[in-house]
A and B are shown apart, each in its own frame.
Chain A
Amino acid sequence: MTPLLQMQSITKEFPGVKALDQVNLKVMEGEIHAICGENGAGKSTLMKVLSGVYPAGSYDGEIHYDGQLAEFRDISDSEKRGIIIIHQELALVPLLSIAENIFLGNERASKGVIDWRSTFAKTEDLLKKVGLRESPGTLIEKLGVGKQQLVEIAKALSKEVRLLILDEPTAALSEADSQALLDLMLELKAQGVTQIIISHKLNEVRRVADTVTVIRDGTTVSTIDARTEAVTEDRIVRDMVGRDMANRYPERDRRAGEMLMEVSDWNVWHPEHNDRQIIKNINLNVRAGEVVGIAGLMGSGRTELAMSIFGRSYGQNISGEVKLKGQVANVKEIDKAIDAGLAYVTEDRKSLGLVLDENIRTNVTLANLEGVSRSGVINENAETTVAEKYRAAMNIRTPSVFQKVGNLSGGNQQKVVLSKWLFAEPEVLILDEPTRGIDVGAKYEIYNIINDLSAQGKGVLMISSEMPELLGMCDRIYVMNEGAFVGELTAAEASQERIMSLIVTE
């Protein structure tokens, strides 16, 4: 085997910080190469150097691609050579069709007139290759994230890709979609497409990768050849964080107290199509000090359930009852739900959880401005004190609470969102994918915060697509499928296999 890509002693400096320091990366022709590292370790910077976002000359070191010295000036330069990156945030135009998106900027046209017949025929071929059964004329906005990811890959294939780079491809995908995507990666490998995958999910890395390179603090820590030596998750984690992580989930005293929240006979219909029932007759309860999980595939209705309970922020014709501490609670509007003691930490913190242009202080008090004001006038001293308190308690890494939250890392942003809801003093917190897209170290801190909440006697309802996380954190797990609960498991009973089998047998 020959190397397709060799990046040698790549060093990239920004004013005041060395993002990459003598990084080496060797990718063999036809292999799947995984790059692991914490957020901020330098993975994306390295990929930006490779794809020409940072043009030749702005970094030190050499890139050899396909046997020659490569000096890419920009992205289109590297794309011409068959290097294609699929970013975490998908770059498709929602109101154009699959076919139009695939050939966007690369239209099958002569003299500016598009040949639709050939466009559609070629799209059909590509969709077959990636295993997506959709008509080429379907609009992107009608597709879920998993299918959109496949469209991105089809788009890459349309450009005669030789080196396909997938940045966190399964971060937003459900278990089933993730599996399908990994299968596709293996199939593309069989067809000779070399691939680089950047991922936080170590089980996936283990499944597909031939070689694993771990980056930490801008340097290459280790390169593991999965064909000759055993790749264990422990080893990768150790290399990533630079220390042993004996337990990825911190221990907690498991003690369930009084009943905090009971939801009974909860039914919700789709906000636009009133004949589609999204949530079907759900009953659930959370006790003080309990961490209760909701497992289920993407699209099973977990987020919809949470949002419909939280001030009816999703759905219509909602029926059912919510009791808090034994009393029927009015949670029909969001402010009422907050007053009643509920908090909902959204799945998408950037677009639903934070005002990115505002600073930490403003974001922390947003859900409880009454707590820092008198007769409608904000006491900024009190506000600063509150923000400082949470900065310290949550270990938000920032020089000051006047920092814009848009400038913080994902883990710190999540801590700000949690601070906001803790300051609203809820009894029950619904956490929707609380550790999505944040690195191992920050995850551990979030788990500790959850455990603290439970120790204080709060109830936590936790939605997660990562089953190990649910298994590691929860006292009980509800299993959800197609809008209904199909099982309830205690921590002792629960395992990945049992959860999956409950989902698939229903």
Chain B
Amino acid sequence: MEQATNNSGGLGAYLKHHIREYGLLFALIAIMLIFQIWTNGTLLKPVNITNLFLQNSYIIIMALGMLVVIVSGNIDLSVGSVMGFIGAFAAVMVVEWDMPVAVTMLASLGVGILIGAAQGYFVAYWKIPSFIVTLAGMLVFRGLSLWLLEGQSIGPFPQSFQQISTGFIPDIVPTGFSKSLAEIAGSRNFNVLAVLLGLVAVLAIIYVGMRERARNARYGVVGEPFAFFVVRNAIVAGALLFVSFKLATFRGLPNVLISMVVLTVIYAFLTANTTIGRRVYALGGNEKAAKLSGIKTERLTFLAFVNMGMLAALGGLIFAARLNTATPKAGFAVELDVIAAVFIGGASMSGGSGKIVGAVVGAFIMGVMNNGMSIVGIGIDFQQVIKGLVLLAAVFFDVYNKSK
């Protein structure tokens, strides 16, 4: 019977089977519209859009690693503490020891990798549940960052360090030209590069989508109905152009946005198109079957944590650079936001399923809610309540869909 429903075409049937993916996109749009109205238009002002990226980039970057960890059938509770610890470590190196910024960043990423390797070692090779190993890690690195900072904040960072977070990509056209464009647009500024890259991204997405459709057609695969394809891409393209135009009228493209987009594309490709990605899904879906198919399951689990450690370190650097100081409270409870983003994005708690794009959209949903609720002045108390309910609703929606 399952086969029969799968086979019977029609838009309704297709929508029913992919309600989760479309639902997520529409949930993000709906939440943005609600806050756009509620904040009297503040949410989508150029400065606030820029802020949204600056505020959420480190969550999104860590969600990429967390998705891999969760797909492999594990969890990492230590990422908040690790990012705090790396921020502190970088601050000590660059501010107190006067080390060069580049060396500090490489060393920080290296320490992140070591932390991930240490935790991954116990999870992969000693089969200690990741919940326990990373709960221990969460305590250890929270304590270590307190010790490193001696309970104080350390800052400020050198200008070049701050650039990774708060810097903007310079425009490609002469200032005079962009000034005249700005006058036409009626804004203080106009960044041509931002609009150009936005256009390139839109074209790339449409090109990749069309190629995929052509291929599916050639292999007789029943894919997304054309109407859905058009509507979905129109929404995405519209949103991208809108955002890039808004960014252009403020200060252009933040550096951190570029790192985030590049990493997202890389991880989306790794998880969906490579053998190593496929093997992680198989490991999470059925570890024993994967092992008996010749997959080195221990090594993959280990690598998932190494990767998470590195991305948590990157998150720590970006966060410290944005605040321009390392504080003992940095990264506190951030692991929960990261994990929530991945689950809102549709990953399964038991492993084996979930998508990078889902995790990123999940992180944006959380980010827009945080930002919007702060603007309208909802207290920190109810912000937490609402975020908790949204997480529960998203996962309930998943379970409800499956049970039908």
A338 to B282, CA, bound (A): 17
> CB within 8 Å of A: which of B158-215?
215
B6 touches A403 (CB 8 A): yes
Does A15 lie at the interface of the complex (its beta carbon under 8 Å from any beta carbon of B)?
yes
> Which of B218, B275, B294 has the largest count of A CB atoms less than 10 A from its CB?
B294
Q: Shortest beta-carbon distance, B295 to chain A, in Å?
A: 8
Residue among B273, B279, B290 making CB contact with A377, cutoff 8 Å: B273
> CB within 8 Å of A: which of B274-299?
274-276, 278-279, 281-282, 285-286, 288-296
Which residues from B are CB-within-8-Å of A489? Answer: none
Q: Shortest beta-carbon distance, A368 to chain B, in Å?
A: 8
> Which of A17, A355, A362 has the largest count of B CB atoms less than 10 A from its CB?
A355
Provide the B343-362 mask, 1 if CB < 8 A to any CB of A, else 0. Answer: 00000000011000000000
A403 touches B292 (CB 8 A): no
Using a CB–CB cutoff of 8 Å, the interface residues on chain B facing chain A are 1-7, 215, 218-219, 221-222, 273-276, 278-279, 281-282, 285-286, 288-296, 352-353
Which residues from B are CB-within-8-Å of A274? Answer: none
Which residues from A are CB-within-8-Å of B274? Answer: 373, 376-378
B278 touches A362 (CB 8 A): yes
With A14-B1, A400-B222: A367-B293 Cβ-Cβ less than 8 Å: yes
Residue among A356, A403, A420 making CB contact with B293, cutoff 8 Å: A420
A367 to B295, CA, bound (A): 8
Which residues from B are CB-within-8-Å of A357? Answer: 285, 352-353
B275 touches A407 (CB 8 A): no
Which residues from B are CB-within-8-Å of A355? Answer: 281-282, 285-286, 289-290, 352
A366 touches B282 (CB 8 A): yes
Which residues from B are CB-within-8-Å of A15? Answer: 1
A373 touches B3 (CB 8 A): no
A404 to B222, CA, bound (A): 15
Output the nearest chain A residue to B272 by Cβ-Cβ distance: A378
A403 touches B3 (CB 8 A): yes
Q: Shortest beta-carbon distance, B219 to chain A, in Å?
A: 5
Does A315 lie at the interface of the complex (its beta carbon under 8 Å from any beta carbon of B)?
no
Q: Shortest beta-carbon distance, B234 to chain A, in Å?
A: 26
Which residues from B are CB-within-8-Å of A384? Answer: 219, 221
With A16-B1, A384-B219: A334-B275 Cβ-Cβ less than 8 Å: no
Q: Shortest beta-carbon distance, A267 to chain B, in Å?
A: 22
A233 to B329, CA, bound (A): 76
Q: Shortest beta-carbon distance, A324 to chain B, in Å?
A: 16
A353 touches B289 (CB 8 A): yes
A310 to B292, CA, bound (A): 9
B3 touches A352 (CB 8 A): no
A346 to B290, CA, bound (A): 12
Residue among A311, A356, A377, A404 making CB contact with B294, cutoff 8 Å: A311
Which residues from A are CB-within-8-Å of B276? Answer: 376
Does A160 lie at the interface of the complex (its beta carbon under 8 Å from any beta carbon of B)?
no
Q: Shortest beta-carbon distance, B320 to chain A, in Å?
A: 34
Residue among A14, A334, A351, A358 making CB contact with B282, cutoff 8 Å: A358
With A351-B288, A355-B286, A357-B285: A366-B4 Cβ-Cβ less than 8 Å: no
Output the nearest chain B residue to A379 by Cβ-Cβ distance: B273
Which residues from A are CB-within-8-Å of B5? Answer: 16
Which residues from B are CB-within-8-Å of A373? Answer: 274-275
Does A369 lie at the interface of the complex (its beta carbon under 8 Å from any beta carbon of B)?
yes
A399 to B352, CA, bound (A): 24
A16 touches B4 (CB 8 A): yes
A17 to B273, CA, bound (A): 38
A313 touches B281 (CB 8 A): no
Output the nearest chain A residue to B296 by Cβ-Cβ distance: A335
A346 touches B292 (CB 8 A): yes
A400 to B220, CA, bound (A): 9
A41 to B293, CA, bound (A): 33
Does A370 lie at the interface of the complex (its beta carbon under 8 Å from any beta carbon of B)?
yes
A313 touches B278 (CB 8 A): no
24 examples of A-B residue contacts, CB within 8 angstroms? A14-B1, A17-B1, A310-B292, A335-B296, A337-B294, A338-B294, A344-B292, A346-B292, A352-B289, A354-B289, A355-B286, A355-B289, A356-B285, A357-B353, A362-B278, A362-B281, A366-B278, A366-B295, A369-B275, A369-B278, A370-B275, A381-B215, A384-B221, A399-B3
A337 to B286, CA, bound (A): 20
Residue among A313, A376, A399 making CB contact with B6, cutoff 8 Å: A399
A334 touches B291 (CB 8 A): yes
B221 touches A378 (CB 8 A): no
> Which of A310, A344, A353 has the largest count of B CB atoms less than 10 A from its CB?
A353
Does A44 lie at the interface of the complex (its beta carbon under 8 Å from any beta carbon of B)?
no
Q: Shortest beta-carbon distance, A17 to chain B, in Å?
A: 6
B282 touches A362 (CB 8 A): yes
A399 touches B7 (CB 8 A): yes
Provide the A357-400 mask, 1 if CB < 8 A to any CB of B, else 0. Answer: 11000100011011001001110110011000000000000111
Q: Shortest beta-carbon distance, A460 to chain B, in Å?
A: 18
Which residues from A are CB-within-8-Å of B3? Answer: 398-399, 403, 407
Output the nearest chain A residue to B288 by Cβ-Cβ distance: A352
Which residues from B are CB-within-8-Å of A116? Answer: none
A313 touches B292 (CB 8 A): yes
Closest A-B pairs by Cβ, 9 of them: A355-B285, A335-B294, A367-B293, A369-B275, A399-B7, A407-B2, A338-B294, A355-B286, A366-B293
Residue among A17, A313, A369, A424 making CB contact with B279, cutoff 8 Å: A369
Q: Shortest beta-carbon distance, B275 to chain A, in Å?
A: 4
Which residues from A are CB-within-8-Å of B4? Answer: 16-17
Output the nearest chain A residue to B269 by Cβ-Cβ distance: A377
Residue among B1, B218, B219, B290 making CB contact with A366, cutoff 8 Å: B290
A239 to B194, CA, bound (A): 73
A380 to B218, CA, bound (A): 12
A403 to B6, CA, bound (A): 8
A313 to B295, CA, bound (A): 12
A338 to B291, CA, bound (A): 12
Which residues from A are CB-within-8-Å of B221? Answer: 384, 400, 402
A477 to B286, CA, bound (A): 33
With A16-B4, A367-B294, A400-B222: A358-B273 Cβ-Cβ less than 8 Å: no
Q: Shortest beta-carbon distance, B264 to chain A, in Å?
A: 18
Output the nearest chain B residue to A313 by Cβ-Cβ distance: B292
Output the nearest chain A residue to B218 by Cβ-Cβ distance: A381
A353 to B293, CA, bound (A): 8
Residue among B219, B279, B286 making CB contact with A381, cutoff 8 Å: B219
> CB within 8 Å of B: which of A394-423?
398-400, 402-404, 407, 420
Which residues from B are CB-within-8-Å of A14? Answer: 1
A246 to B1, CA, bound (A): 32
Which residues from A are CB-within-8-Å of B291? Answer: 313, 334
Which residues from B are CB-within-8-Å of A310? Answer: 292
Which residues from A are CB-within-8-Å of B279? Answer: 369
Residue among A353, A370, A400 making CB contact with B292, cutoff 8 Å: A353
B219 touches A385 (CB 8 A): yes
A381 to B290, CA, bound (A): 22
Which residues from B are CB-within-8-Å of A378? Answer: 273-275, 278
Which residues from B are CB-within-8-Å of A407? Answer: 2-3
Residue among B215, B281, B288, B294 making CB contact with A358, cutoff 8 Å: B281
Which residues from B are CB-within-8-Å of A403? Answer: 2-3, 6
Residue among B275, B281, B295 making CB contact with A376, cutoff 8 Å: B275
Q: Shortest beta-carbon distance, B274 to chain A, in Å?
A: 5
Which residues from B are CB-within-8-Å of A385? Answer: 219
Which residues from B are CB-within-8-Å of A366? Answer: 278, 282, 289-290, 293, 295
A334 to B288, CA, bound (A): 12
A354 to B292, CA, bound (A): 10
Which residues from B are CB-within-8-Å of A344? Answer: 292
B286 touches A354 (CB 8 A): yes
A407 to B17, CA, bound (A): 15
A388 to B294, CA, bound (A): 23
A404 to B3, CA, bound (A): 9
Which residues from B are CB-within-8-Å of A16? Answer: 1, 4-5
Which residues from A are CB-within-8-Å of B273? Answer: 377-378, 380
> CB within 8 Å of B: which of A417-451?
420, 424
